[in-house]
Amino acid sequence: MKDKIVLITGATSGIGKETAKGLAMLGATIIFTSRDTLKGEKIKKELITTTNNKNIRVLKCDLASFESIRNCCKEFKSKYDNLHVLINNAGVWDFKRRESKEGIENIFATNYLAPFLMTNLLLDILKKSGPSRIINVTSGMHYGTINFDDIEFKQKFSGAKAYRQSKLGLILYTKLLAKKLNGTGVTVNTAHPGMNKTELGRDASGFSRMIFKMMGKDPKIGAETSIYLASSSDVKNISGEYFAKKKIKKSSKESYDMILAKKLWDLSKEYLEKS
């Protein structure tokens, strides 16, 4: 990964942090986002020390704010001429309904609309830097459908349903984007990391947090598939697939529905055009 530039969201803890560490140890230049500047700088110093790689930088970005995402991408382009790997890793699971800076249900905004926006803003530099790769971190919990009647769960909120929907949306987006990027030198795949000990359930009840910790694996294990997709020559020509444990797996029946994917894509554009 020497001379490769990698941008990762959600790398201040958990799977994202382990992904950044693993790719830094392979020699990549790592740029990661953090909404908290002080925490970001602290993690940057830690990663430099543990990997002995000085090419690690942090960009301020709040993924619950379209304005912040746009500013982050603008800053990235002002500082770097290339982008070889984009890893949309950040994710949230709210147990009470919250809204993003634009007043959109927070899980939908952060887990789905944020990577949709960031990827589209960076597609030009990814194409220019080709061959390049996009990795969208999804979940094995993506089974279900897209609730177009109430996509923001305004009527009856369920954190689990909102989370599942956002991760299904990410797979649908990935599969449709792969078709659109065919022949450009840019590949895009999804990674299912498994259940890991992360901060995903930090807003849960004490019992639920305990379950997360008991059942979760070491984030290093969860990061393996993302690292593999970012670095391995085995997958350089593979696009539009769903990976788990570094292998192509079959995702849910709904995730292959390109009519559903197109409907969601068009709705996503409407959200971004309004904000």
Answer whether 134's CB lies under 8 Å from 128's CB.
no
Angstrom distances, CA of residue 13 to CA of 21, 124, 238, 263: 11, 29, 28, 33
Token representation of residue 69: 């995402």
User: Which residue, 243, 223, 259, is CA-closest to 47?
Assistant: 223
Known active-site residue 242: no
Report the C-alpha gap between 248 and 246 in whole angstroms.
7
User: Which residue, 74, 71, 84, is CA-closest to 132?
Assistant: 84
Out of 80, 112, 143, 163, which one is annotated catalytic? 163
- 3-class DSSP assignment, residue 149: helix
- Counting other chains too, the contacts that 108-111 makes at CB distance below 8 Å and 24 or more residues apart are 108/151, 108/152, 108/162, 108/165, 108/166, 108/169, 109/64, 110/63, 110/64, 110/166, 111/163, 111/166, 111/167, 111/169, 111/170
**DSSP letter string over 24-57?**
HHTT-EEEEEESSHHHHHHHHHHHHHHH----EE
Q: Is residue 131 reached through a cis peptide bond, with omega within 30 degrees of 0 on the bond before it?
A: yes
Answer whether 89's CB lies under 8 Å from 16's CB.
yes
Report the C-alpha gap between 100 and 64 in whole angstroms.
5
User: Which residue, 150, 139, 37, 57, is CA-closest to 92?
Assistant: 139
- Residues known to be catalytic: 163
